[in-house]
Structure 1
């Protein structure tokens, strides 16, 4: 599958394409325009770093749960504030329980999100620092 580049590109910069039409081979030239880059950096990446990059960060998952819990908390808090508890003790207890659980869940997920939000950037900084450190 890996052909020699000389077999693909002519000296004038055009690409040769071989097509078979009725068992005959014809060469067709396609012009190629190439934009040169000034510098090309190549980074060594360890296997465990690739695994961490593939896995991705858990931060977005924690943020989604935190938003869901806090949305529930504020909705239930509004319902709790506007509820007249006279004769509705069961509803009051259920709303209070949901409000407290969603508040703690939202705070806990927010803390987990805050702690894990920079893990991907740390991996990329470590990889990029290998060129700056000269390792």
Structure 2
């Protein structure tokens, strides 16, 4: 099997195992396959392989840590989708994201919240009184 076929098989296996493949995985598979394999080995040991924490718990931890780090919205959303596929409810995911509020603050929470809202299709309640658009209002 050629290096390209090995890399393709590896990316396909990542998709099956993780339930997602990030853009950098795809590019690294083609551009520097050995480093992708090394990085993925670390992810496997810490995240994918069954140890004491189950996969649902690990996904919630990942979602919160990515939220606090202000990771790309798509990265957070990929873990939200995996969590949903594993049977985690949208409300459980929101509760996990809310854990970021006391330590990291409202702005960080809003980053994860927006990712969650888009994936689960959550909507809100509109005020029935006249209000400004909120652009200049204090965040809270």
Q: The TM-score by the shorter chain falls in which range? A: under 0.3
Which has a greater percent of strand?
1
**Which structure exhibits the higher relative contact order, with contacts defined as CA atoms closer than 8 Å and separated by 6 or more residues?**
1
With normalisation by structure 1, the TM-score equals 0.23
With normalisation by structure 2, the TM-score equals 0.22
Larger radius of gyration: 1
